[in-house]
Amino acid sequence: MKPLPVELDGLACERDERELFASLSLRLEPGEVLQVAGPNGSGKTSLLRIMAGLLPPSAGDMRYGGNSVYHGAGREDWRRQRLYIGHAPAIKGALTAEENLAWLCALSFPVGTEQIWQALEQVGLRGFEDVPCHNLSAGQKRRVALARLYLEQHPVWILDEPFTAIDKAGVTALENHIMAHAQQGGMVIMTTHHGLDHLPGVRCLDLGQAN
Burial class from Cβ neighbours inside 10 Å (0-12, 13-18, 19+) for residue 197 reads exposed
Among 20, 50, 123, 151, binds ligand ATP (CB under 6 A): 20
Straight-line distance from the first to the last Cα atom of the chain, in angstroms, rounded to the nearest whole number? 35
The angle at the Cα of 154, spanning 83 to 189, to the nearest 5 degrees, equals 50
Q: How far is the CB of 53 from ligand ATP (least distance, A)?
A: 16
Residues in contact with 129: Cβ distance below 8 Å, sequence separation at least 6, in sequence order: 96, 97, 98, 116, 117, 120
**Residue 23: Cβ within 10 Å count:** 13
Site residue total, ligand ATP (CB under 6 A)? 11
Could you say which residues in the range 22-81 bind ligand ATP, by CB under 6 A? Answer: 38, 40-46
Kindly state whether residue 15 participates in binding ligand ATP, applying the rule CB under 6 A.
yes
Nearer to ligand ATP, 45 or 122 (CB): 45
Q: How far is the CB of 161 from ligand ATP (least distance, A)?
A: 7
Q: How far is the CB of 46 from ligand ATP (least distance, A)?
A: 3
- Enumerate binding residues for ligand ATP (CB under 6 A): 15-16, 20, 38, 40-46
